[in-house]
Amino acid sequence: MRLRLTPRDTTFFDLFAASAQHLVTGANLLSEMLGATPAARKEINKRISEAEHLADEATHQIMRRLNQTFVTPFDRDDIYMLASALDDCMDFMDEAADLMVLYKVGELPARVADQVQVLQRCAELTAEAMPRLRSMDSLSEYWVEVNRLENQADKTFRKLLAQMFDEISDPILLLKFKEIVEALEEAADAFEKVANAVETIAVKES
């Protein structure tokens, strides 16, 4: 345990928690989108973009505070890493949603729902974990589980990719689907980066 010579700036914890809440909103909207009609998808996509804007603001607040605060609760680099990883989660989910609307795709392969389900679970776990950064309370369960989920998502992604290349003969449709599932895979990777950033912070604190 390192000596603390100064009071810690607590608002970072609240900003991280807020940022993670937007991820839960985004992931849930993404899962709604899958079963929705083209018209409904457009409308849901708008709401995801709103969540993305809010997450963006949260990130900017964190960065601004980080640059103006002399003493931070953790290493600046770790706060930066955590904030940008949280931002990436949202960006990739937003991108996937945009592409679904942009490419006017119909029903997506069944495994896409599995990808999104993992993102929903990762978002919930992340939102629950962020407030615990203050007390460093039982964070290991969180990052272990997110790493497990990301490995699962990776397997699903590769199976899905192989399946699409086997079954879809229209190369343009294949291209569209491929970009969407790749964006979802990148979102899962970003959740793992968040978990790794939290682990880094926790290890330094221990």
Residues that bind its own copies in the complex, under the rule CB under 8 A? 63-64, 67-68, 77, 98, 102-103, 158, 161-162, 165, 169, 171-172, 174-176, 178, 200, 203-204
Identify residue 127 by its one-letter amino acid code.
Answer: A
Cβ pair 72, 9 in contact under 8 A: yes
* 51 or 97: CB nearest its own copies: 97
Q: How far apart are CB 120 and its own copies at their closest, in Å?
A: 25
Q: How far apart are CB 152 and its own copies at their closest, in Å?
A: 16
Q: What distance in Å separates the CA atoms of residue 100 and residue 166, rounded to the nearest whole number?
A: 21
* 37 or 169: CB nearest its own copies: 169
* 28 or 72: CB nearest its own copies: 72
**How far is CA 116 from each of CA 19, 33, 164, rounded to the nearest angstrom?**
19, 10, 17
Q: How far apart are CB 124 and its own copies at their closest, in Å?
A: 25
* 77 or 141: CB nearest its own copies: 77
Contacts of 97 (CB under 8 A, 6+ apart): 29, 30, 33, 44, 45, 48, 49
* 67 or 138: CB nearest its own copies: 67
Identify residue 135 by its one-letter amino acid code.
Answer: S
Strand residues in 12-164 grouped as ranges (E): none
Q: How far apart are CB 66 and its own copies at their closest, in Å?
A: 9
Q: What is the DSSP string of 92-132?
A: HHHHHHHHHHHTT--SPPTHHHHHHHHHHHHHHHHHHHGGG
Q: How far apart are CB 154 and its own copies at their closest, in Å?
A: 10
